[in-house]
Structure 1
Amino acid sequence: MFAQDDAPVVLDRQDGPAGEVVLRRRGREYEIIANGCFLMDTSDGRSERLLVDAAREALGRDRPSVLLGGLGVGFSLARAAATGWGRIVVVEREAAVVGWHRAGPLAAYSAGALEDPRVTLVEDDLLAHLRAGSAAYDALCLDIDNGPDWTVTENNGSLYSPSGLDACRNRLTPGGVLAVWSAQPSAAFEAALRSAGFERVHTLEVSVIRGVPDVVHLAHRAP
């Protein structure tokens, strides 16, 4: 939580492939702002940890592989590295965000996970990476927007389109899990997942102090 008199202090500001990204400190916490839009902060990582925990629980496999879409403030990566995942690939398009983890204040939140031998960091646009590659994963855990209905950049919207969901499904192993973080529930996205051929579509919620709950949308590729 932030005190009402905690004014944000800009620590770094860089231009990236999709616009400006800013790292701010507010009190003891850090915030990432993308193109003037609040993206995430370090105050509460419960839903980001749920993103990877729920995917692994849904899989029920020994040392499954996972692709994490978005490094963010590092909560999801740190959780994946601290639990029973095998191969972990992180796709992050913003070099600034990577730098804040390599040699900046966000290193405390990724907790050294970028040096874990299971972890591979790929600096690329997530959808471009999904469409161009061929490696399959047991899980895709995606957190690059405020949700399918609230994207950081206009181009990100194609990730949640039929073609984007096809790309996600094609990069999953049979029975694999797609997990998508969102700042609010989306019945339309659940319907889109079903239309794209995903099974066992459901949503998990994490209550927040104000407003609607954060959610994780979960769906399985057919076995």
Structure 2
Amino acid sequence: MTARMTNEAPPVTVDRRDGPHGEVALRRRGDGPDAAYEIIANGCFLMDTGDGRSERLLVNAAMDALLPGTAEPSVLIGGLGVGFSLAEAAARPGWARITVVEREQAVVDWHRQGHLAPFSRGALDDPRVEIVLADLVGHIRTTRETFDALCLDIDNGPDWTVTDDNSGLYGPTGLAALHTRLTPGGVLAVWSAQPSAPFEERLRERFTDVVTLEVPVDRGVPDVVHIARRKA
């Protein structure tokens, strides 16, 4: 997710769907090859295609933090969004398995058949990629799969959740569930629209090597990526 775009032209809604979690809409600003898109969920701005630096950092920082010698590393990306994180993961041959958990069928459709396809750059067809249509919070609690990296971008941050149920993911119980989904020495990366000192402290209670990486934006506080490691 990125800060709201500065282009003041009125957006045009190109698709709107009613899903199991409410309304999700895709809006376009501008026309032609320079058109930008934004995803709105239940009236709440989620993300746009204006700047993908922090979303790319999410997966690159996770890979860079993997322990040396990690064989055939796997990554779970929480949230397909506008596709920046998935496209970046697929562009790196080091990932042996890439699982994307996305709860909205509409978002998957926009990448497979629609306006967001250029931003995921064909990554949905990569043989390493599996798309799981599910709510991430429930999936983390029920799956038995483990991953070398978890890259989460489903909210505007730990202190600004899109869905009330998501808030538990960033508390002690949610972090315990994420911990179990990581291999020993595995990396947790969490995107946020603003720094969160309380979340950093909660990470330190269960993980090691906690760092916060900042990406400056045009206006307001920087986007950040929180990185932490499960003990090896």
Which TM bucket (shorter chain)? over 0.9
Q: RMSD value over aligned CA atoms? A: 1.0
Task: Return the match for 1:109 from 90, 109, 119.
Answer: 119
- 1:14 is aligned to 2:14: no
With the length of structure 1 as denominator, give the TM-score of the two structures: 0.97
Classify the secondary structure of the residue corresponding to 1:105: coil
Task: Return the match for 1:215 from 218, 221, 224.
Answer: 224
Looking at structure 1, the residues matched to 20 and 151 of structure 2 have their Cα atoms a distance apart, in angstroms, of: 22
Residue type at the aligned position of 2:174:
G
- Correspondences of 1:114-125 after superposition (within 5 Å): 114-125=124-135
- Correspondences of 1:17-166 after superposition (within 5 Å): 17-27=20-30, 28-59=35-66, 60=68, 61-83=70-92, 84-166=94-176
Out of 47-56 and 19-28, give the one that drifted further. Answer: 19-28
Classify the secondary structure of the residue corresponding to 1:81: helix
For residues 80-111 of structure 1, what are the alpha-carbon distances to aligned partners after superposition, in whole Å with 9 as ceiling and x for unaligned?
00012110000000011011111101011011
Per the TM alignment, residue 15 of structure 1 is displaced from its structure 2 partner at its CA by 1.3
Aligned length: 221
Looking at structure 2, the residues matched to 20 and 156 of structure 1 have their Cα atoms a distance apart, in angstroms, of: 17
Looking at structure 1, the residues matched to 7 and 127 of structure 2 have their Cα atoms a distance apart, in angstroms, of: 39
Per the TM alignment, residue 178 of structure 1 is displaced from its structure 2 partner at its CA by 0.2
Residue type at the aligned position of 1:3:
N
With the length of structure 2 as denominator, give the TM-score of the two structures: 0.93
1:2, 1:26 within 8 Å by CA — same for their partners in 2?
no
Classify the secondary structure of the residue corresponding to 1:76: helix
Looking at structure 1, the residues matched to 210 and 7 of structure 2 have their Cα atoms a distance apart, in angstroms, of: 38
Per the TM alignment, residue 3 of structure 1 is displaced from its structure 2 partner at its CA by 3.2
Match of 1:190 in 2: 200
Find runs of 4+ consecutive structure 1 residues off by over 2 angstroms. 1-4, 60-63
Residue type at the aligned position of 2:7:
A
Instruction: Name structure 1 gaps, 5 residues minimum.
Output: none
Identity fraction in percent: 68
